[in-house]
């Protein structure tokens, strides 16, 4: 998959492109990240990328000409990150990972001239209900979430365990040592009884989802085992309250 990112701050992507899982995915040619400096498409003497808004008030708006020009050099679905967009989630990530090429416009300041959105943007995406200084972090969030779904970027076992893959939150994880300063890991995990471990994990997932994200549980269809474990979990919760 080829991902183009249009930005005024290309250096923000240096670490993102070279480190950890994304760095390895690029090395292994599973993804390509093409950072396009919008400034390269500012043709006036001062290479001005932004200007004051018509109608006054507030900060600066990114000028349309450099964006229109930069977009001529790239392909694929064009995404613009803004709080006005559809809220990003795993479902959107799963759809986008099927694209051969995408382009993300990372706006800065007060955003971009609306004519670019109207003429060129296929999808406006928000990463949540808060306001950031720029679209660079949202672009990284989107690219990160999509990339790890591309075959070979992480092991299948890793993403099959994801929260949201099965519609439930993750169960708690522990690693060695089995005891640290008197803090022990749950006994079942060191028991070697794999059926018991599986059941404990499903139950913990169900408990967390029930307590923290009941909205997810409403959408989830429980199979027979999950139903049984869910009822056991409710019973245990009640007993612990009394």
Please give the residue ranges that form the binding site for ligand 4HQ (CB under 6 A).
Answer: 81-83, 107-108, 111, 126-128, 130-132, 134-135, 138
Closest contact distance (angstroms) between CB of 57 and ligand 4HQ is: 15
Q: Which of 65, 99, 101, 162 is catalytic?
A: 162
> Side-chain half-sphere of 186: how many Cα atoms within 13 Å?
12
| Alpha helices per DSSP H over the chain | 14-18, 20-27, 64-71, 90-96, 114-120, 136-147, 156-160, 194-212, 214-219, 224-241
Q: Tell me, yes or no, if 218 is annotated catalytic.
A: no
Q: Which is nearer to ligand 4HQ, 66 or 135 (CB)?
A: 135
Q: Which is nearer to ligand 4HQ, 108 or 203 (CB)?
A: 108
Q: Look-up: residue for tokens 């080829």?
A: 2
- Bridge partner residues of 34 (DSSP): 4
Q: Tell me, yes or no, if 186 is annotated catalytic.
A: no
Q: Tell me, yes or no, if 110 is annotated catalytic.
A: yes
Q: Which is nearer to ligand 4HQ, 25 or 105 (CB)?
A: 105
CB 52 within 8 A of CB 60: yes
DSSP secondary structure letter of residue 188: G
Closest contact distance (angstroms) between CB of 36 and ligand 4HQ is: 17
Closest contact distance (angstroms) between CB of 137 and ligand 4HQ is: 8
Closest contact distance (angstroms) between CB of 54 and ligand 4HQ is: 17
- Bridge partner residues of 102 (DSSP): 3, 77
Q: Which of 53, 65, 69, 83 is catalytic?
A: 83
DSSP secondary structure letter of residue 153: S
Q: Which of 53, 148, 170, 199 is catalytic?
A: 148
Q: Which is nearer to ligand 4HQ, 38 or 127 (CB)?
A: 127
For residue 216, what are its two tokens? 């997810």
- Distance (Å, rounded) from C-alpha 1 to C-alpha 14? 19
Residues catalogued as catalytic: 83, 110, 148, 162
């Amino acid at each position: 998959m080829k991902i183009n990112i249009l930005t005024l701050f290309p250096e923000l992507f240096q670490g993102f492109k070279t480190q950890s899982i994304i760095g390895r995915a690029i090395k292994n040619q599973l993804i390509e990240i093409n950072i396009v400096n919008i400034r390269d498409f500012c043709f006036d003497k001062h290479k001005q990328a932004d200007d004051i808004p018509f109608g006054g008030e507030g900060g600066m708006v990114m000028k349309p000409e450099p964006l229109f020009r930069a977009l001529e050099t790239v392909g694929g679905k064009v995404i613009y990150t803004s709080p006005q967009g559809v809220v990003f989630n795993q479902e959107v990530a799963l759809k986008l990972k099927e694209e051969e090429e995408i382009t993300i416009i990372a706006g800065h300041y007060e955003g971009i001239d609306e004519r670019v959105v109207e003429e060129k943007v296929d999808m406006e995406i928000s990463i949540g209900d808060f306001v950031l200084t720029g679209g660079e972090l949202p672009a990284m969030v989107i690219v990160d979430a999509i990339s790890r779904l591309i075959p070979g970027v992480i092991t299948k076992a890793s993403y099959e365990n994801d929260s949201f893959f099965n519609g439930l939150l993750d169960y708690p994880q522990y690693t060695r040592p089995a005891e640290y300063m008197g803090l022990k890991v749950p006994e079942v995990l060191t028991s070697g009884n794999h059926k018991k471990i599986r059941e404990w994990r499903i139950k913990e997932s169900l408990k967390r989802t029930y307590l923290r994200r009941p909205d997810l549980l409403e959408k989830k269809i429980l199979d027979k085992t999950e139903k049984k474990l869910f009822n056991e979990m409710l019973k245990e919760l009640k007993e612990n309250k009394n």
